[in-house]
Amino acid sequence: MLQKIYDWVDERLDITPMWRDIADHEVPEHVNPAHHFSAFVYCFGGLTFFTVVIQILSGMFLTMYYVPDIINAYESVYYLQNEVTFGVIVRGMHHWGASLVIVMMFLHTLRVFFTGSYKKPRELNWVVGVLMFFVILGLGFTGYLLPWDMKAYFATVVGLEIAESVPVVGDFTKTLLAGGEIVGAQTLARFFAIHVFFLPGALLGLLGAHFYMIRKQGISGPL
Amino acid sequence: MSSEKEHRVSRRQFLTYTLTGVGGFMAAGIALPLTRFALDPALEGGDEQEMVAVASVDELTEEPQRFDYSFEQEDAWHTSEVTQTAWLYLDGDEVVALSPVCTHLGCTVDWDSNEDFPNQFFCPCHGGRFEKDGVNVAGTPPTRPLDVYEMEVRDGTVYLGRPISRD
Ligand code: FES
């Protein structure tokens, strides 16, 4: 049945070459854990991507209940976690996944660093990777405020103090991020927008570039 | 022996099966909580609505009277005061409590408000009409009688709950 549907579509759109080009390529021996077990270190990039996908999915579902407003934010989080079936699990996925993305990304960075994979001709991919590192830290920072509890509030107060300590542009950056002089209604609204639209958009664009480059240049050779 | 030969699974097939199996299991593990989470409002059913004191039986007559009453409505994380209306009258000793929501498209009906149709509930939107007991008049848009409120009379006071469809 599935085969028939596939054939029907393939006959008209010739999709086989498309997915072959994306998915069907040999895994070099030095990155295949079946040959050298230590090659598992090459999995971290994929695992980072996997956790990012989970973050995007669980995040999409959380916004079905979450409200970015200082009166209702905490109540809506409380409700979705305690009243909605599987709310604990879905919020748990997003909560623990957030830390996991950073751990995986860090391990991936270490592997790229110690295998020297960032060297010519892959410098640009390293640059894109570092940009994604910052985007993901930004996602962590903005997401932390959203439950609007004490921990969230004071973490953001401190985060913004740090931004303020930057020479010359510090004051401006802080006011811009907070949307005013205090951490309040405007801060929550704009952190939500940044967390849910701006940074994920940037992340997807950068991910596209990251993957395009790795396909184009191939994985770096053995040590 | 021969049957074992027929069932030979190639290395490639074995890998396809295991990878699809494991992959499917993981995908289901992610999809299941997310789906149930999203479906929650549809599966949980509405909250119980408390019975609210609306009027005392002494005030009621054979003629339907309009009573407005408010109560606390819980809506997920938001609680608010909402106002509802009921048409109450006495049918012998029985108290009848009708919902004012027209069963056509939900406008609000009024008692005896149209000169051409005395002693009927009249809906101004598309001319829907109901008899005193709430039964819709044939030939007008509504297709079923007005809803009746869940009702309880305690110590001479009328308590109303949620409207119940009579169809
Ligand atoms: S809504 Fe009452 S007649 Fe149409």
pLDDT recorded at residue A3:
93
Claim to verify: residue B29 and residue B73 sit in the same structural domain:
no
Distance from the CA of B144 to the center of ligand 1, in angstroms? 12
Domain count, chain B: 2
- Are residue B33 and residue B84 in the same domain, yes or no? no
Tell me what the mean pLDDT of segment B92-109 comes to: 94
Same domain for B88 and B157: yes
Residue with token string 């909250």: B47
Yes or no: say if B109 and B130 are a contact pair by the CB < 8 Å rule: yes
Measured from CB, residues less than 6 Å from any atom of ligand 1 are B 102, 104-107, 123, 125-126, 128, 141-142
Predicted pLDDT of residue A199: 98
Ranges of chain A with pLDDT below 50 = none
Distance from CA of B22 to the nearest CA of A (A): 15
Which chain B residues are closer than 8 Å to A83 by Cβ?
A: 76
pLDDT for position B1? 47
Q: Taking the domains of chain A in order of start, what are their residue ranges?
A: 27-217
Q: B7 pLDDT exceeds 80?
A: no
Confidence check: pLDDT of B2 > 60: no
Q: Are the beta carbons of A84 and B40 separated by less than 8 Å? A: yes
Instruction: Please list every residue in chain A whose beta carbon sits closer than 8 Å to the beta carbon of residue B30.
Output: 54, 57, 93
| B108 and B33 within one domain | no
Tell which one of B107, B110, B136 to mutate to probe ligand 1, the residue whose CB is within 8 A of the most ligand atoms: B107
Q: In the prediction, which pLDDT does B120 show?
A: 94
The preferred substitution site among B125, B144, B146 for testing ligand 1, maximizing ligand atoms within 8 Å of CB, is: B125
User: For residue B141, what are the domain limits?
Assistant: 52-164
pLDDT reported for residue A25: 81
pTM: 0.85
- Are B24 and B80 found together in one domain? no
* Claim to verify: residue B72 and residue B9 sit in the same structural domain: no
Do residue B32 and residue B56 come from a single domain?
no
Say how many CB pairs under 8 Å bridge A and B.
42
Return the ∠ at Cα A164 (arms to A161 and A167), rounded to 5°. Answer: 140
Cβ-based burial of A47 (10 A; exposed 0-12, middle 13-18, buried ≥19): middle
- DSSP assignment of B77-105 equals TEEEEEEEEEEEEEETTEEEEE--B-TTT
Nearest-angstrom CA–CA distance, A196 and A193:
5
Domain with residue B90: its CATH number is 2.102.10.10
Q: Do residue A61 and residue B30 have CB atoms under 8 angstroms apart?
A: no
Identify whether residues B76 and B140 lie together within a single domain: yes
Q: Identify whether residues B31 and B98 lie together within a single domain.
A: no
Amino acid letter, B75 = D
- pLDDT tens readout for residues B125-151: 999 999 999 999 999 999 999 999 999
Q: What is the CA radius of gyration of chain B?
A: 28
Contacts of B33 in chain A (CB under 8 A): 86, 89-90, 93
Residue A146's nearest CA partner among A191, A94, A186, A178 is A191
Average pLDDT, chain B: 91
B26 and B64 share one domain: no
Please tell me whether residues B59 and B98 are part of one structural domain.
yes
Q: Are A203 and A131 in contact (CB under 8 A)?
A: no
Q: Is the per-residue pLDDT at B44 higher than 90?
A: no
Architecture of domain A27-217: Up-down Bundle (1.20)
Q: Decide if pLDDT at B6 tops 90.
A: no
The pLDDT score that the predictor gives to residue B50 is: 81
Q: Are residues B94 and B75 in the same domain?
A: yes
